[in-house]
Chains A and B, each alone.
Chain A
Amino acid sequence: MAALDINGLRKAFGGNVIIPDVTLALEPGLITSLVGPNGAGKTTLFNLITGFLRPDAGSVHYKGSDLVGLSPQRVTRLGIARSFQDLRLFNEMTVFENVLVAQESSFRLWTRAAACRHTDAVLERVGLADKRDTRAMDLSYAERKFLNLARIMALDIDLFLLDEPASGLDGPSRTTFHMLLQSLKDEGHTVLLIEHNLDIVREVSDRIAFLNKGEVMAFDTPERIFANERLTDLYFGTAGRPAEAESC
């Protein structure tokens, strides 16, 4: 059974059809990269899966239930979490609080010791343990990216949707990121990744879905996708590597 089964998904804003028809089945336990030129509808697809946008047609099946029409918080509680391209950290809070708030139940008067231990373990894992009490706004760019990841890693999640988690990372940070992704995969998690940097895509992906004008043009292993000249032409010919304009 697919980890996520997207069928005939369609979304238009006014008369502007952003996603005419997306059908895609994610294989469980694999890292799938979503690539495509700027404006291909990648972030929109994330918004449709996670309930931030409601599709005009189609279905998104996860563990036997259709996610369409569910609120974002319901989708997250079912086990799908997303990160944002523009990070959206809780800037006034410390690194520790950013991760703690993600995993604890909101309707509680006392902080559980287990939640604190879990938070510290996650911070250790992403290499932010020594920044525990720093406010999110005072972190470096790379640290902010890792905090963004830590926040959703703290949740009880099967499927990670990561929107450009590695963009702007330098060499060593990229290695750390790569190891983190690998460890998520080793634990049996499924990952869908939006990434512009094709080196990273080549390094980490098990599958690549090539999205163009809101349609999946190809879905295959990295070797086959990179060997397909038509796709590489389309990717480099249409757009270089500008930042994605669309966002949530």
Chain B
Amino acid sequence: MIAYIANLGVLLGIAVILASSLNLMVGYAGIFSVAHAVFYGVGAYAAAKVALGVTDSFLLATAVAMFVSGAVSFLLAVPVLRVREEYFVVASIGFQVVASTIFTSWHAVTGGMGGLAGIPPARVLGWQLTSPVEYLILTAVCMVLVLAFIAVLVKSPFGRALKAFRDDEVAATALGKDPLALRVAATTISGALAAVAGSIYAFHVSFVNPESFTLDYSVMILAMVIIGGAGSLAGPIVGAVFITAFPALLNFIEMPSRYVGPVEQLIYGASIVLLMIFWPNGLASVWRLLRPRRPVQAAGGGTER
């Protein structure tokens, strides 16, 4: 039971890192991407390669993974971010499809559908990780570091410039801000942070294959950000917990086993639809309802019911 909870905790931590890093793009830079699983995957493969061929040092493998994934997202961002928002969504789907194909077909590097197996247990500062609880601790530490970094980033001049663009792109440009440079930087950082999750995953499961980094999962990460509430620090955390833990909770409902799958999916899907109807600003905005009312917001106003 402890192992089950620890494993769920690791997956949750990974989801929080992925959703929070994507939130930098979606919530702060205003870039909607359905390709975040690619950077998660590139990170996982890069870490796996390092672990299999060079060293079992988690820190080193993660550093390489972040660099490679950051570089890939940079190379994607420079040409593609020149297009307008809605086109970028479509372009990101295309990128996800291309990446999935590469994960599956580039046998020499990725091992194809069979993936890369036999990744050694992670070593952190001389400490060899073996039990799920140890991985949970590692995940928690990484998650806190990533969240702290994002918190510093969004409060920094860089984060403020991103928010300025989100509020009014024309005005931000007129004040001398470079939209392309800011967006490329946000995308690169976001990709590098997603690689942290990829590295944890590779060491934890000791096996990577393309099935973990599909378009489906990219959509789920985006759903976490939106359901939780884009543009806040708490939003993606709440969204990641909801998306990851909700199916686990549904397991506890008593029903004949052949109905479990479909019923779970129906409840899951319907609750997402209902959430978007009633709380379009995300689950994390619910607490605002409990505070004394502020003047009605000019735009959106989804929390005012």
How far apart sit A93 and B164, CA to CA, in the bound complex (Å)? 8
Chain B residues with a Cβ under 8 A of chain A: 152-153, 156-158, 160-161, 163-164, 166-168, 170-179, 181-182, 185, 295, 297-299
With A73-B177, A97-B160, A107-B181 already in contact, 13 other A-B pairs whose C-beta atoms are closer than 8 Å: A52-B174, A71-B178, A72-B173, A82-B174, A88-B168, A89-B167, A92-B167, A106-B182, A107-B158, A108-B157, A109-B158, A115-B157, A248-B170
| Among A97, A102, A115, A138, residue most surrounded by chain B Cβ atoms (within 10 Å) | A102
* Contact indicator B176/A101 (Cβ below 8 Å): no
CB distance from B154 to the nearest CB of A (A): 11
How far apart sit A81 and B171, CA to CA, in the bound complex (Å)? 11
* Contact indicator B163/A93 (Cβ below 8 Å): yes
Interface string of A32-45 (1 = CB under 8 A from B): 00000000000000
Query: Which residues from A are CB-within-8-Å of B158?
Result: 106-109
Report the nearest B residue to A106, measured CB to CB: B161
Chain A residues with a Cβ under 8 A of chain B: 50, 52, 71-73, 76-77, 81-82, 84, 88-93, 97, 100-102, 104-111, 115, 137-138, 151-152, 155, 248
- Interface SS of chain A: helix, strand, loop or mixed? loop
Assuming the A-B contacts A73-B177, A106-B177, A107-B185, are A101 and B160 also in contact, with contact meaning beta carbons closer than 8 angstroms in the complex? yes
Q: Which of A89, A100, A107 contacts B168 (CB 8 A)?
A: A89
CB distance from A79 to the nearest CB of B (A): 10
How far apart sit A84 and B152, CA to CA, in the bound complex (Å)? 31
* Contact indicator A81/B174 (Cβ below 8 Å): yes
CB distance from A17 to the nearest CB of B (A): 24
Q: Which of A73, A97, A109, A111 contacts B176 (CB 8 A)?
A: A73
Q: Which of B157, B297, B298 contacts A101 (CB 8 A)?
A: B157
Assuming the A-B contacts A109-B158, A137-B297, are A90 and B153 also in contact, with contact meaning beta carbons closer than 8 angstroms in the complex? no
Assuming the A-B contacts A84-B171, A106-B181, A137-B297, are A155 and B160 also in contact, with contact meaning beta carbons closer than 8 angstroms in the complex? no
Query: Which residues from B are CB-within-8-Å of A106?
Result: 157-158, 161, 177-178, 181-182
